[in-house]
Amino acid sequence: MKQKKAFLYIRVSTDEQADKGYSLKHQEERLRSYCQFQNIEVAGLYKDDHSAKTFERPAFQQMLAFLKKNKKSADLLLFTKWDRFSRNAADAYAMINTLNGLAIEPQAIEQPLDLSIPENKIMLAFYLAAPEVENDRRALNVIVGMRRAKKEGRWMATAPKGYKNVRVDNKPVIIPSEDASHIKWIFNEISKGAFAPDHIRKIANEKGFEVSQSYFWTMIRNPIYCGKIFIPTYKDEEAYYVKGIHEPLISEDLFYNVQDIVNGNKRMTVVRTKQKDELPLRGYLTCAKCGGQLTGSASKGKYQRYFYYHCQPGCKERFRADNANEKLIVKLREIAAKKEALKLYHLILEKELKKSSKENTSDKQKVIDEINKNKERIDNAQKLMLDGQLDITEYRSIKQKYEAVIKELEVEIKPQATKPADYKQYLDFGFNLLQNIDQIYVSGNTQIKSQILSSIFAEKLIFEKNSYRTPVYHDALSLIINTGKPYEGNKKGQTAGNNNLSSWVVPTGIEPVSKV
């Protein structure tokens, strides 16, 4: 009788070796002893330390490739149990057919089956399905157990920055670490709206809190820091948050305030104070691709540093800062070039302000007259009371009534913060600024540049394809920029009214120098 040849296959995954005591050495000893007892020649040995969920295992694929090239090199493929061969029933049946096509019989020495007997296929199904069911049950138990722990308010993963993993009463919990103070500082600084979040990240790095861009953006969106645990969707159960048992580092109000800023739902209240001369538009540009706020930074070249405006991580928008800066100056020159329109609007506004000043003076006098009339009524009532012609109770009622009226009238004539005469000063200054706005912008420091940008643009700028999209100016400036439209007659040949022009004065972002 011809001696049979066999390839030995042994497999163990790391968790099996740790949890169940499986070992490659033990399997090899069992297989070699079996072959010696059954007088089977060992033609080869293959070892894997991968999961049996699929057959994409290095040693198994190497063995299969050898068998396909060297047919009749073996009669058997031996392993200790069927779960060493596979833990997936469907894949296992397909591989058995492949091996049978190569005249190789797979066999488990501790669970032997004669697959030529149809009934034994039921047993094979059990041997293959049992490990798969065990795997699924273990995975389900882990999911359910972790979900139950999360619902109890426990953080079940590696502690995020600012916390550390410990065990209390043999249960995993997280407590604040030495980085907690950095986390608090970061959230507080972002909530102020003075600096872009990534700029705050860089400052934190300089302070010794090392964190990458990607982790930083994940970190500041994590509700764990305000004491909440996220429970993800599972089957028919919707996702929701629970209160964690750990100590929160920040308040919920602070967390959601930061989310509003990060998501762009809340406008940053202060333009950065440390604006670089090379990046005057930082904080005034919107990304043409994603709509987010652009920031800026320097890139070190071979001989010098180059400055760029760019979007936040995740968006690839990026362009040279010097080019965008020059294109903005061109836009400002377009405003300065409309000298005739500016002069005309200056005359119109000056006329309207004078007219408004006269009307205000006339209205104010009417109110003063009404106040004096009511004071006279109180005096007359007092005389009647003293002459005995009016009861004191009636006098008090009359006095109380007209004093209330006088207070309401006095509110209407409270002195205004700016005197009518001051408007001409502001008007002259504002239009002089517009006529020379490009020169003032170029020669001004970063603070002056920021004030000019805030004063003339109603919305942030969008730089795309080497030019700016049509900017949105404040109302008064929009009328000037729209060449000729305010002066065109309507279909009946009538000119547009300008009764409201006095309310369209360019916002005084830059104050005129006060006279001493």
- Give me the DSSP letters along 307-335: EEEE--TT---EEEHHHHHHHHHHHHHHH
Task: Label residue 402 by pLDDT band (50, 70, 90).
Answer: confident
Check whether residue 10 and residue 126 sit in a common domain. Answer: yes
Question: Percent of the chain beyond pLDDT 90?
Answer: 27
Residue 228 lies in a domain: yes
> DSSP labels for 115-175?
TTSTTHHHHHHHHHHHHHHHHHHHHHHHHHHHHHHHHTT---SSPPTTEEEEEETTEEEEE
Tokens of 312: 């936040």
pLDDT digits (tens, 9 = 90+) for 314-334: 788 999 999 999 999 988 888
Tokens of 167: 């065990």
Least-confidence region, from 2-11, 153-162, 245-254, 448-457: 448-457
Q: For residue 9, what are the domain limits? A: 5-138
Check whether residue 134 and residue 188 sit in a common domain. Answer: no
Residue 290 lies in a domain: no
CA distances from 504 to 89, 346, 349, 426 (A): 78, 11, 9, 13
Which of these three, 214, 245, 262, is where a domain ends?
A: 262
- How distant is the alpha carbon of residue 67 from its chain centre? 55
Alpha helices in 337-391 (DSSP H): 339-386
Q: DSSP character for 31?
A: H
| Mean pLDDT within 391-418 | 74
- Count of domains in the chain? 2
Least-confidence region, from 85-89, 100-104, 193-197, 337-341: 337-341
Residue 491 lies in a domain: no
Contacts of 430 (CB under 8 A, 6+ apart): 505, 506, 508
How many residues are recorded in the chain? 516
Check whether residue 70 and residue 186 sit in a common domain. Answer: no
Contacts of 373 (CB under 8 A, 6+ apart): none
Residue 229 lies in a domain: yes
Check whether residue 132 and residue 216 sit in a common domain. Answer: no
Tokens of 410: 């006095």
Residue 190 lies in a domain: yes
- Residue 422 has a pLDDT of 54
- For residue 216, count other CB atoms closer than 10 A to its CB: 21
Check whether residue 171 and residue 106 sit in a common domain. Answer: no
DSSP 3-state assignment of 444? coil
Higher pLDDT, 227 or 482: 227
Check whether residue 133 and residue 167 sit in a common domain. Answer: no
Task: Label residue 423 by pLDDT band (50, 70, 90).
Answer: low
- Residue 65 has a pLDDT of 93
Residue 184 lies in a domain: yes
Q: Is the pLDDT of residue 507 over 50?
A: no
Check whether residue 9 and residue 124 sit in a common domain. Answer: yes
Which of these three, 104, 138, 172, is where a domain ends?
A: 138
Here the CATH number for the domain that contains residue 101 is 3.40.50.1390
Check whether residue 26 and residue 120 sit in a common domain. Answer: yes
Higher pLDDT, 487 or 125: 125
Nearest in space to 16 (alpha carbons), one of 45, 44, 46, 53: 53
Here the CATH number for the domain that contains residue 216 is 3.90.1750.20
Which of these three, 237, 262, 287, is where a domain ends?
A: 262
Q: Is the pLDDT of residue 499 over 90?
A: no
> DSSP labels for 49-84?
-S-SSSS--HHHHHHHHHHHHSTTS-SEEEESSHHH
| Mean pLDDT within 254-272 | 71
CA distances from 43 to 32, 76, 113 (A): 11, 10, 22
Element (H, E) at 42: strand 41-48
Check whether residue 77 and residue 42 sit in a common domain. Answer: yes
- For residue 267, count other CB atoms closer than 10 A to its CB: 10
- Residue 353 has a pLDDT of 65
Check whether residue 97 and residue 174 sit in a common domain. Answer: no
Instruction: Please tell me the distance from the alpha carbon of residue 383 to that of residue 366, in angstroms, as a whole number.
Output: 26
Check whether residue 11 and residue 128 sit in a common domain. Answer: yes
Higher pLDDT, 153 or 365: 153
Q: What is the pTM of this model?
A: 0.37
Task: Label residue 215 by pLDDT band (50, 70, 90).
Answer: very high
Check whether residue 230 and residue 175 sit in a common domain. Answer: yes
- Residue 481 has a pLDDT of 65
Residue 204 lies in a domain: yes
Instruction: Please tell me the distance from the alpha carbon of residue 303 to that of residue 305, in angstroms, as a whole number.
Output: 7
Residue 348 lies in a domain: no
Instruction: Please tell me the distance from the alpha carbon of residue 86 to that of residue 430, in angstroms, as a whole number.
Output: 82
